[in-house]
Amino acid sequence: MCRPRVVKSDCAFLESRRLHHPVLAGRMSGSFIPNDVALGSEAQNNSAAEHPKVMIFTGPNMSGKSTVLRMTCVAAIMAHMGCY
């Protein structure tokens, strides 16, 4: 785990590395694969390094779409609360 950094910026962005779902990671005893999530860009004029601001997840049932969405939302909420 690492301490989240909440920064003041004119652009909205979220970047998470090796993100774990707080419940599933504990229940799966080491078999949970962490994910990287990047939305938006910290630099306003750096369009080459900009990540998409919106992601659309498609795929078959049981492919992890809801897990990625939930762990990203939970991580953002926990960071704002100071829980890490």
* pLDDT tens by residue, 47-72: 545 677 777 888 888 888 888 888 88
The mean pLDDT value for 22-45 works out to 75
Confidence band, pLDDT 50/70/90 cuts, at residue 1: low
Residue 63 structure tokens? 């492919």
Residues 6+ apart with CB under 8 A from 58: 65
Classify the C-alpha dihedral 8-14-17-19 as positive or negative: positive
Q: 26 vs 35, which has greater pLDDT?
A: 35
Tokens standing for residue 28: 């799966």
